[in-house]
Chains A and B, each alone.
Chain A
Amino acid sequence: MTETISEEKPAQIEALSLVPKAEAKQSMKDFKSDQEVRWCPGCGDYAVLAAVQGFMPELGLAKENIVFVSGIGCSSRFPYYMNTYGMHSIHGRAPAIATGLASSRRDLSVWVVTGDGDALSIGGNHLIHALRRNVNLKILLFNNRIYGLTKGQYSPTSEIGKITKSTPMGSLDAPFNPVSLALGAEASFVARTVDSDRKHLTSVLREAAAHPGTALVEIYQNCNIFNDGAFEVLKDKDKALEAVIRLEHGQPIRFGAPAPDGLGSKGVVRDPATGDLKVIDVTEEGADGVLVHDAHAASPTTAFALSRLADPETLHRTPIGVLRNVERPVYDTMMSDQLDSAIEQKGKGDLATLLAGNDTWTVVG
């Protein structure tokens, strides 16, 4: 993992090159606002907040040039707790608002905090369009597979048959897989992590921050009130062995109980018959054909196939890590370049000339 990170260093400088640096060394407490945090005790949001506050000093950016924009939902209270600029906006619209901010102010590091209902239901349109445009935004999607703030209705990531207040006989909706959705929406950076794994969460944030363009980070987050233990299978040490596929760029995709070579006894291979991915037991079939994860692959096909390995019911074979991280022209950079070339071609705009136009006549008194 550390090698992958060092590879990313030059990109990190590029992605944030226009954002002024902090004058002094920062610490976690510089990023804590004076507001009392009001999530339910035990909520997974606390862990994410702590991880973000703990990670920010590493970026070394002037904190007045950092902005957190959120929508509506439990996670969207996040900006109030960050001692940066922030906007707690309206339901689903944070990516749109952040797009206007980021595309007009390239000297800012703009973060969007959203949830599964906010980003994938009411705000689904803005999310997919932000991703395809590749605006310089870092989107943290807290996915707890439930509506928390409205007290427990099913969400667009809830499993089929979910019993909730609004679905006493079980929900009928097929869920979204946010990673698959983002890949389909032409995202240039897609990652998944878990609230309770601070080290992994921080490493994903690091890569996301360094990415020029839109980065979508899905964070599995426990709602201990309305959907407690939704991700337990990924957190329990024993169960996680089978359930979690940890992706690391340049490493073979292995998981499960360790094989004699020290890596997981299961591996992901390409099925020559269908072209799809499948899981094999490497102790029986050997490790030669196991895919090596390439987050920088130009085509999103394999990343998409990886995202489909997860069982939406049991969450077995859930890939965690950076699924895709490719460079693509960044919207706000191109927008700014167009202004520059317009000035190059036509000269800086002159209002009097514009108003006069080409076809005038004069009335003499």
Chain B
Amino acid sequence: MTSQVSSPAEKTDGALVGEQRTPGDGGGGKEVRRLDRVIIRFAGDSGDGMQLTGDRFTSETASFGNDLSTLPNFPAEIRAPAGTLPGVSSFQLHFADHDILTPGDAPNVLVAMNPAALKANIGDVPRGAEIIVNTDEFTKRPMAKVGYATSPLEDGSLEAYNVHPVPLTTLTIEALKEFGLSRKEAERSKNMFALGLLSWMYHRPTEGTEKFLRSKFAKKPDIAEANVTAFRAGWNFGETTEDFATSYEVAPATKAFPTGTYRNISGNLALSYGLVAASQQADLPLYLGSYPITPASDILHELSKHKNFGVRTFQAEDEIAGIGAALGAAFGGSLAVTTTSGPGVALKSETIGLAVSLELPLLIVDIQRGGPSTGLPTKTEQADLLQAMYGRNGEAPVPIVAPKTPADCFDAALDAARIALTYRTPVFLLSDGYLANGSEPWRIPDVDELPDLRVQFASGPNHQLADGTEVFWPYKRDEQTLARPWAVPGTPGLEHRIGGIEKQDGTGNISYDPANHDFMVRTRQAKVDGIEVPDVEVDDPSGQARTLVVGWGSTYGPITAAVRRVRGAGAHIAQAHLRHLNPFPRNLGEVLRRYDNVVVPEMNLGQLSTLLRAKYLVDARSHTQVSGMPFKAEQLAEVFKEAIND
């Protein structure tokens, strides 16, 4: 304990551990190596607390100032049978001293809490990587459960890796023996022991975790102290044991970030904040009508906490009632939102059509997951694009906005609200499971920088009849935006009736007139087609690229990482990423035609490429993956190289 690295127990000055060392300083006989980036994967049983462990390591890493990207991966079952492959839950974290775009392709370090976790993850771990295993779980029965006839720790099958066998359970129980906890209770803290060990290995600041544990278990101070003790024991174990000869430093990514104040944020949290911000900027109360569904429920949970912002959250009896209540609130003048995932969108379709017909602002947030049907509730996919685009009866165009990173969900929510409020239309916000649960550093915006979203409700007559009478016509449109007036109940003199039956242009009265219907269908389409969206930007630093890669949504990270690799290898490639899927940016056709090859990677079977081919008659080449997991940058880079060489 004479090293210059103070253990968490000794540290009182609050300084960051990582800053106290000079690189290469072999304090305590241990080597310290400097790395530019690391990918760690924590894997264990669903009940082992791997998501919490990953979250804490992420928080420590964020506050240290690394750039980071995370990939939680867990089963749909809350507690799948213990020790089985389907029950394995993992959390991957990529952190670096420079800006990074993905949670990483392959882990440099795997923490495997049991044989199932090892078996389920070993295929992703490259040779030479470090594997920390909880040897206590490598007994006959747990190994047999996942089909290990002999122990992989002894049979040489892990020879290619740098394996650290650690009896995590025993060490944790030993460390906590003075607490008088039962064996079972003490065992539960083994994830904190593992976190302590990894925190030592990577010089993570530790106050945050200790503070977190004390506040999480504020009502059970014994358990709080037990967890803190296990955490510190893990740290001390790393420092003292011979097996861990090296620790690593990854310097803060100071150059990766523009000046500002940052926090770590997940996609669902950023999206929730975007909705609250939109409500504040529009000066309209926020109303959320929702039904719980993975992976969207966290938005309902988050917004439910912010009633002091005037946010009303309504947990409905079903998906249809969720959007129904939101639409009712929109009629009453709220900024109305419904949140769901693909199966919920299917149920809401008829009401979305009604909203198209009523021409009221409404946000439909779809956190996409694997489909069809129940599909893969906790895994990611982008296969609802065509559902959002076309999944309604009749001609029912709906604008579509898609965020590209977890933090970008904030801006995308504001943008979707802008479109809904300006054009009086339902708008789809298409996020996905990867963005929802993944996290990254976010530069906290200055509230004064946020867009002004205030709207004008109708307040008086807007039309003069031939006889000079002043009347209110609910479907008389703004000439610029084609939006109809938003006249909310309570406004005297503007009493009017709206409905899903076709309406006469202007008056809004029921009309079955053929020419009127033709006109109204085309007008609703023209309104959506005319929505102002910024031109798509093309990233082509050399100006010599002949191949363009076009993406949308959460594939931004892996695509951009792959593009960097391709350019790093000396090839030329251009990249464009779409935030607006309906309407497309006006310059998109011209951009597509500029290149010999257009590659469209998607986590579906080619939905965007279908739209691009249909609309622009370009030979867009589709590259698809529907594994429930995000693309890996290395694989995409290969695809891009092939396209370039074609």
Which chain A residues have a beta carbon within 8 Å of chain B's beta carbons? 20, 33, 35, 62-67, 69, 79-80, 82-90, 93, 96-105, 107-108, 125-126, 129, 335, 338-339, 342-343, 345-349, 351-352, 354-357, 359-365
**Does A104 lie within 8 Å of B258, measured CB to CB?**
no
What residue in chain B is nearest A357 (Cβ atoms)?
B263
| A360 and B314 within 8 A (CB) | no
Closest Cβ of chain B to A362, distance in Å, is 5
Complex Cα spacing A84 to B276, Å: 32
**Are B500 and A90 interface neighbours, CB within 8 A?**
yes
**Which of chain A's residues has its CB closest to B307's CB?**
A342
**Are A99 and B491 CB-contacts (below 8 A) given A339-B312, A355-B447?**
no
Stretch at the interface among B329-337, B590-598, B608-616: B329-337
- In the bound complex, do residue B493 and residue A129 qualify as a contact, i.e. CB atoms below 8 Å apart? no
- Are B314 and A100 in contact, CB atoms less than 8 angstroms apart? yes
A349 touches B306 (CB 8 A): yes
Contact B332 A105 (CB under 8 A): yes
Inter-chain contact A356/B444, CB cutoff 8 Å:
yes
Q: Does chain A have a CB within 8 A of B316?
A: yes
In the complex, A96 Cα to B319 Cα: how many Å? 10
B59 at the interface (CB under 8 A from A): yes
Most chain A Cβ neighbours within 10 Å, of B309, B336, B497: B497
Q: Which residues of B contact A357 (CB under 8 A)?
A: 263
Interfacial chain B residues near A365, Cβ < 8 Å: 258-259
Q: Which 8 A-B pairs have the closest CB atoms?
A: A88-B499, A100-B328, A96-B324, A100-B325, A349-B309, A342-B307, A101-B328, A96-B321
Taking a contact as CB atoms under 8 Å apart, the answer to whether A104 and B63 are in contact is no
CB distance A100 to B261 under 8 Å? no
Q: Are A65 and B490 in contact (CB under 8 A)?
A: yes
Contacts A96-B324, A105-B332 known; A88 to B501 CB distance under 8 Å? yes
* Given A65-B489, A104-B287, A351-B277, A90:B497 Cβ within 8 A: no
Question: Is the CB–CB distance between A339 and B354 below 8 Å?
Answer: no
Q: How far is the CB of A178 from chain B (nearest CB, A)?
A: 18
A362 to B65, CA, bound (A): 8
Query: Please, which residues of chain B bring their CB within 8 A of the CB of A101?
Result: 328-329, 331-332, 489
Chain A residues positioned under 8 Å from B258 (CB to CB): 363, 365
Contact, CB under 8 Å: A339 / B307: yes
- 22 CB contacts below 8 A, A to B, read A67-B331, A80-B497, A87-B328, A87-B358, A87-B498, A89-B324, A89-B499, A90-B353, A96-B324, A97-B331, A100-B325, A100-B327, A101-B331, A104-B333, A125-B318, A126-B321, A345-B308, A348-B308, A351-B280, A355-B447, A356-B261, A361-B63
Q: Which B residues form the contact surface with A (CB < 8 A)? A: 59, 62-63, 65, 208, 254, 257-264, 273, 276-277, 280, 285, 287, 289, 306-312, 314, 316-318, 320-321, 324-334, 336, 350-351, 353-354, 358, 444-447, 489-501, 509-510
A80 to B495, CA, bound (A): 11
What separation, in Å, do the CA atoms of A14 and B259 have in the docked complex? 56
Closest approach, in angstroms, between the C-beta of A33 and any C-beta of chain B?
Answer: 7
B289-A361 in contact (CB<8A)? no
Give bound CA distance, A362 to B262, whole Å. 6
Chain A residues contacting B497 (CB-CB under 8 Å) are: 33, 35, 79-80, 82, 85-88
| Interface contact B263-A108, CB-CB below 8 Å | no
Extra contacts, 5 of them, besides A87-B328, A100-B289 (Cβ < 8 A), are A87-B498, A104-B332, A125-B318, A355-B277, A361-B263
Known interface pairs A363-B258, A363-B259; A349-B509 also in contact (CB < 8 Å)? no
**Residues of chain A lying within 8 A (CB to CB) of residue B273:** 354-355
Cβ-neighbour of A93 out of B254, B261, B351 (below 8 A): B351
Of all chain B residues, the one with the shortest Cβ separation from A358 is B263
CB proximity of A89 to chain B, nearest CB, Å: 6
A104 near B499 with CB under 8 A, answer no
**What are the residues of chain A within 8 A of B510 when measuring CB–CB?**
35, 80
Report the minimal beta-carbon distance from A39 to chain B, rounded to whole angstroms.
Answer: 13
What residues of B have a CB within 8 angstroms of the CB of A347 in the complex? 308
Which A residues lie within 8 Å of B353 (CB)? Answer: 90
A363 with B254, Cβ < 8 A, contacts A100-B287, A104-B287, A351-B280 known: yes
* Residue in A69, A93, A349 whose beta carbon sits within 8 Å of that of B276 in the complex: A349
Chain B residues lying within 8 Å of A69, measured Cβ to Cβ, are 328
**Given the complex, which residues of A lie within 8 Å of B306, measured CB to CB?**
342, 349, 354
Answer whether A360 and B321 are a contact pair too, CB < 8 Å, given A65-B489, A342-B308, A355-B447: no
Measured CB to CB, the nearest residue on chain B to A98 is B328
Contacts of A80 in B (CB 8 A): 497, 499, 510
| Residues of chain A contacted by B307 (CB below 8 angstroms) | 338-339, 342-343
Question: Are B326's CB and A64's CB within 8 A?
Answer: no
Task: Give A352 to B353 CA distance when docked, in angstroms.
Answer: 36
What are the residues of chain A within 8 A of B492 when measuring CB–CB? 62, 64
**Separation of A126 and B327 alpha carbons in the complex (Å):** 15
Chain B min CB distance to A342 (Å): 4
- The answer to whether B321 and A125 have CB atoms under 8 Å apart is yes
Contact (Cβ within 8 A) B325 A97: yes
Residues of B within 8 A of A102 (CB): 328
Instruction: Specify which chain A residues have a CB less than 8 angstroms from the CB of B500 in the assembled complex.
Output: 88-90
CB distance from B261 to the nearest CB of A (A): 5
With both beta carbons as reference points, the residue of chain A lying nearest to B358 in the complex is identified as A87
State A365–B259 Cα separation when bound (angstroms): 5
Chain A minimum-CB-distance residue to B332: A105
A363-B308 in contact (CB<8A): no
Interface pair A64/B489, CB less than 8 Å apart: yes
For the complex, what is the distance from the CA of A93 to the CA of B317, rounded to whole Å? 12
Smallest CB–CB gap between B344 and chain A, Å?
A: 14
Most B CB within 10 A of own CB, among A62, A66, A355: A355
Please state if B445 and A361 are interface contacts (CB–CB under 8 Å): no
Q: Which of A82, A100, A125 contacts B326 (CB 8 A)?
A: A100
Specify the chain A residue showing the minimal Cβ separation from B59: A359
- Contacts of A62 on B, CB cut-off 8 Å? 490, 492
Instruction: State the CA gap A361–B259 with chains docked (Å).
Output: 11
| Chain A residues near B264 (CB-CB < 8 A) | 359
Nearest to B493 among chain A residues (CB) is A64
- A38 CA to B280 CA, complexed, in Å: 44
Q: Are B308 and A343 in contact (CB under 8 A)?
A: yes
Given contacts A65-B490, A88-B501, contact A126 B62 (CB under 8 A): no
Q: Which of A35, A356, A361 contacts B62 (CB 8 A)?
A: A361
**Residues of chain A with a CB closer than 8 A to B317's CB:** 96, 125-126, 129
Cross-chain contact A361 with B262 (CB below 8 angstroms): yes
Query: How far, in Å, is B132 (CB) from chain A's closest CB?
Result: 26
**C-alpha spacing A350/B325, complex, angstroms:** 26
Instruction: Name the residue of chain A whose CB is nearest to the CB of B269.
Output: A357
Let me know if A83 and B316 touch, CB within 8 A.
no
B499 touches A100 (CB 8 A): no
A35 and B510 alpha carbons, distance in the complex (Å): 9
Separation of A90 and B327 alpha carbons in the complex (Å): 12
In the complex, A348 Cα to B307 Cα: how many Å?
Answer: 9
Residues of chain A with a CB closer than 8 A to B277's CB: 351, 355
Distance of A126 Cα from B320 Cα, bound (Å) = 9
Q: Which residue of A lies closest to B253 (CB)?
A: A363
Roughly how many angstroms separate A34 CA and B216 CA in the complex, as a whole number?
A: 62
Q: Contacts A100-B287, A349-B306, A351-B277 known; A363 to B321 CB distance under 8 Å? A: no
A346 touches B308 (CB 8 A): yes
* Closest CB in chain A relative to B59 CB, distance in Å: 6
- Verify A352–B447 contact, CB threshold 8 A: yes
Given known A93-B324, A354-B276, A363-B260, contact A339–B310 (CB-CB < 8 A): yes
- Distance of A345 Cα from B126 Cα, bound (Å): 52
Residue in A66, A79, A86, A102 with the greatest tally of chain B CB atoms within 10 Å: A86
Which residue from chain B places its CB closest to the CB of A96 in the assembled complex?
B324
Residues of A within 8 A of B326 (CB): 100
CA distance A254 to B320 in the complex (A): 44
Contacts of A64 in B (CB 8 A): 489-495
- Complex CA–CA separation, A100 to B331 (angstroms): 9
State the CA gap A101–B360 with chains docked (Å). 13
Residues of B within 8 Å of A129, CB to CB, are: 316-317, 321
Contact, CB under 8 Å: A104 / B263:
no
For residue A343, which residues in chain B have a CB less than 8 angstroms away from its CB?
307-308
Q: Are A83 and B495 in contact (CB under 8 A)?
A: yes
